[in-house]
Chain A
Amino acid sequence: MRAKIRVAALAAGALCVALSATACAGAGGGNSAGDPNAINVLMVNNPQMEDLQRLTADNFTKETGIRVNYTVLPENDVRAKISQEFSSQAGQYDVASLSNYEIPFYSANGWLASLDSVAKDPEFNQADILPAYTASLTGKDGKLYGEPFYGESSFLMYRKDILEAKGLTMPEKPTWDQVADLAAKVDGAAPGMKGICLRGQPGWGQVFAPLTTVVNTFGGTWFDKDWNAKVNAPEFTAAVDFYTKLVRDHGEAGAAQAGFTECLNNISQGKVAMWYDATSAAGALEANDSPVKGKVGYAQAPVKETKSSGWLWTWSWAMQAASKKQDAAGKFIAWASSKKYEELVASKFGWSKVPSGKRISTYENADFQQAAPFFKAERFAIENADPKNPGVQMRPAVGIQFVGIPEFAALGTRVSQGVSSAIAGQGSVADAVAKGQEAAQKVGDKYK
């Protein structure tokens, strides 16, 4: 009896192994990497990318015969997946959306294919791309590794009607002291309305995006040019103190959890009078279904010690070095970042939806100017952003709202947790920067 059972069990086991082996053998069939006329694109799921998804089949595929398979994921997930995919050069994806934070060190690692062929295409017209981007997407070897899909700086958005009702005016280039003063005055201007919305959510790309620009203009920096950490320096501390105090006194409710989306909701629903954040938010504020359309004014990023303090950010297309379809991928990038694509979006969804902030010609387009009352402020902010020299001292790496090294994501996020706690009232700024200094110095020592 027992022997029979053993035989039966063995047979069952063997069957299962055989089944799974067949399953593995079928592997090749499931992968689309073999289709020469299809490319795979991995991208963040921002609204501009959703529009792109909707327009690809009827336009790009129709014109070129190249099918595009998209994988869209939220920002943090897409970052994790891209770094996994590109560091192992798995070759699953031909194109990915990368920012000007990653592209310099991704290209230095040899993970990206050069886009010089796209740049040389006269129809693409690389000279039309704002030079700040071309510079920040160029690798150390002088080759271009990314083409911007859309770009942004940061500026101050404020409710014109609220300020006017209070008899206040917003300077075109305000200082942080002026903004703090205005925030106090408009706090409570309408029932349930706070003075200003500033991100407080932990994350290097959340609270530290606006906060690092404040640090820069207060004369602080993460590292001096010799990689000495400066997180507990008086200027850095003063900036964090100022930011924390402003958001605690006159900032949005639940500030320690508020990121870009929460602030966008807050200003749209009349819960804050001002908001300092990405210029790309303005498109949503001026969209047809926005309750605050036409009521928002735009001023430059507030300053203290520097002339300007807006950040520079672009979601760009980069090609994996291991891609076997670089020709098709190049065609896709040239199409998605083209002027023609912007016009296509404008004709289908309106000019306020155009993935702007990258081409000079867009800012000169009369239709765009009309649909985007923020165009002047945005262009000025982008053109005045200097990723190589954003503060008062020399920097060891490029980047305005970030330090252009792979370790910064983890470092910034770690330090941001202390800052976020301070915003929530559960810790002190002094504590946060002291711990931040320690963590930053460990990173800095690697580069010394």
Chain B
Amino acid sequence: MSTLTPAEPRSSVPAPHARTNGSRRRGKSRMDPTRNNTAAGVAAWLLALLFAVPVLWMILTSFHSEVDAATNPPSVAAGLTLDAYKEFFGATSGVSPWPSLINSATASVFSTVLVLLLAIPAAYALSIRPVKKWTDVMFFFLSTKMMPVVAAVLPLYLFAKTAGALDNIWFLGLMYTSMNLPIAVWMMRSFLDEVPVEMLEASQIDGAGLLLTLRKVVAPVAMPGIAATALICFIFSWNELLLARVLTGVVAGTAPVFLTGFVSGQGLFLAKVCAAAVVISLPVLFAGFAAQDKLVQGLSLGAVK
């Protein structure tokens, strides 16, 4: 990611971005096949494996029986079974996970769309055509993230109760929108910052209007950034537990709330929870893979220009 700290406001005078040049230099040196790079490659792989181990462990446990999952020391080589997955899909309890998965999808997609609709114009007004005191605006956005959510939970609950919005998935989606909006504005601003001023000027000289410029010039360059922002917002909403647990009940429960229902105070539950966690992670994983190309571009924007 590029400049997260607001630098100088953009002026119409073309000024090459120092950061861009720096990135380009880094990009070049990465191509030199030196021993240093081999070591770095090994380190990167080791680190990646280290991050993957808990996930792999979760997947392995989800295919074990409850008794095998609970043994200490862990029985790695225990027989594999699909019981935990059958349990998750309600084989014995008869409780289907689908409503909660659909709820999660609804809240996540709804809030992500809303966030993008709001964040892109806001970022435009903070980057390409910065408003006055735009750094203050940026700071204001960030300051809304400074209060811990848990401090706002009770007022939110009481508000939702009075407004009749308890257990309503759209209200939850709205909460997620406000939760993700500041992050999205910050991300989008830094992505829009990467749109070369020369291109904007060129399109203006060629007589393109605002909408045409947005569509033909800004959008193609910013698209990877939009994809990255959308994915981050989607993941944050999909995984959110605290607000969902407090604000939902019978009909609007989301997947993470459903998952916690497997954690039992009496009896074995590890395999079931792992299976639930695997299934619930899949949509995010798929979204990540689908957006991978755009994402890599988005996250390394500036280096590839």
Contact = CB atoms under 8 A, between A and B. Distances in A.
Interface of A: 1-2, 4-5, 8-9, 12-13, 15-16, 19-20, 23-24, 26-28, 30-32, 40, 42, 44-47, 50, 53-54, 57, 69-75, 77, 81, 84, 88, 90, 92-93, 259-261, 264-265, 269, 280-281, 284, 289
Contacts of A71: 249-250, 253
A31 B168 contact: yes
A74 B265 contact: yes
A26 to B, nearest CB: 6
Contacts of A4: 210
B210 A50 contact: no
Nearest to A278: B266
Contacts of A260: 265-266
A23 B95 contact: no
Given A16-B118, A20-B177, A265 B268 contact: yes
Given A54-B94, A77-B245, A23 B173 contact: yes
Given A20-B174, A31-B167, A45 B264 contact: yes
A10 B158 CA distance: 31
A233 B161 CA distance: 46
B252 interface: yes
A93 B67 CA distance: 35
A188 to B, nearest CB: 18
Shortest 8 CB-CB contacts between residues of A and residues of B: A23-B170, A69-B250, A9-B121, A74-B263, A30-B168, A75-B265, A12-B121, A27-B168
A70 B266 CA distance: 19
Contact of A54 (B93, B114, B173): B93
Nearest to A280: B266
Given A27-B164, A46-B264, A260-B266, A88 B125 contact: no
A48 B257 CA distance: 20
B157 interface: yes
A20 B171 CA distance: 8
Contacts of B249: 40, 42, 71, 92-93
Given A40-B249, A46-B265, A30 B167 contact: yes
Contacts of A19: 114
Contacts of A5: 124-125, 129, 210
B5 interface: no
A160 to B, nearest CB: 22
B174 A24 contact: yes
B93 A40 contact: no
Contacts of A23: 110, 170-171, 173-174
B71 interface: yes
B138 to A, nearest CB: 16
A3 to B, nearest CB: 10
A235 B7 CA distance: 67
B37 interface: no
Given A5-B125, A57-B94, A265 B70 contact: yes
Contact of B210 (A8, A15, A57, A84): A8
A224 B120 CA distance: 65
Contacts of B168: 24, 26-27, 30-31
A9 B124 contact: yes
Nearest to B178: A20
Given A19-B114, A74-B265, A40 B250 contact: yes
B70 A16 contact: no
B118 A53 contact: no
B65 to A, nearest CB: 10
Contacts of A27: 163-165, 168, 170-171
B125 A9 contact: yes
